[in-house]
Structure 1
């Protein structure tokens, strides 16, 4: 019996040591964990591409989702330097080829920016979308391409024909776009809308109006058969954007910042009317 006392005494001492050292060990572990994570600030945006199929009582449907991320430097009016922006582009397509295209944007600065709501988000009906090197987000539906600003997601213009692009100097790129007049303009004799743009912004818009309603309807119906062209004409003062039509050509002189409607040459019975730029 006497020989068991050393064992009991040792157990008591060990228990007391553990009782006093356990809080110290726990505190040390917490401090080490905190030290390991100190200075680490991380945020992640995820979401990739996927293809799915579904059997709905014998009817097979499918959906394709493509998601891409890009970091671009977007010039912002009034800011001294371009804004580094993370863009998430997503296109969703169904069996019929129709779908939606969306674009979301976040500042690229600190990880906390990615935890915030996007600077802007747009979602439109489209069957394809792409980022252009002109600081524009392009969507396409039914042969019509539509341009949106990478600065704020605003709609800028439509294009039913290929763009006419050119430069006055190495850093002065310009583009001219043409779209068929929508119902609002067509009801007033509008045939086509000209847009003159710099990368990421619109400089001027104008509508070609034809006085004869029958002639206007015929020109709208055949607009897809023509193309915008651009060249230099010293008689008109330099660079010219031309729309060849069966009844004559519309020729509009352009400068780096304007379409000169006053010196434009239009066939008889036609006129160019400026459109107020909004936004």
Structure 2
């Protein structure tokens, strides 16, 4: 029997159901995984580095959450490793998929390492496409599931010195939103997370990245707030969630301002990041 859910709730957890989160060793992926575990979902966590995922598993256990946390070390930019993970996912009852893994580079495309740019494309775009394709038939058959793909406000814009990243995020943005409409009436929610700047609630100066140093503190949204807002949006089957007030402003501006105005301005800012 299909389970068609229409209320504003997440897909129901169950003993044989699993929420898959990529990029679960840090950042948005880690925060979303923690929040899903706290809401009673069994987890399959995917990242290259296992230590932080093990810490997340231990934290959930220490908090008294009786959920199963399975950890997979996988380089999603590698086609062979990705295929092995996909084969596993096709055997599972995946009720939630969160595609969060991603990287970014800064600088003029022609001057960057082409191999690493291809790696970025594979991770940011191809992995999202292939993992979504792998779980979607089972989700539709079950009728109670959800997908969150992490795109970016930057995917709305043409940003010189960030070409591969914004190109991949543009794909994720439009791919996810197209699926949202395709899946209406199936019981499968599909939400695009399009964040602006997101980081830890407190970050030491020594740990600040190029982006941290180039972006004022008041602009940032924290990972826990982002995770909560994202899962609430998925429960409501919203098309797009943009956490944080200033990110929402950036989302509107990048969507509606002409690129002949925004591209040169943003290109200069991203050139400074590349220099750092």
Q: TM-score, normalised by structure 1?
A: 0.22
Relative to its length, the structure with more helix (as a share) is 2
Q: Which has the larger radius of gyration?
A: 1
Q: TM-score, normalised by structure 2?
A: 0.22
Relative to its length, the structure with more strand (as a share) is 1
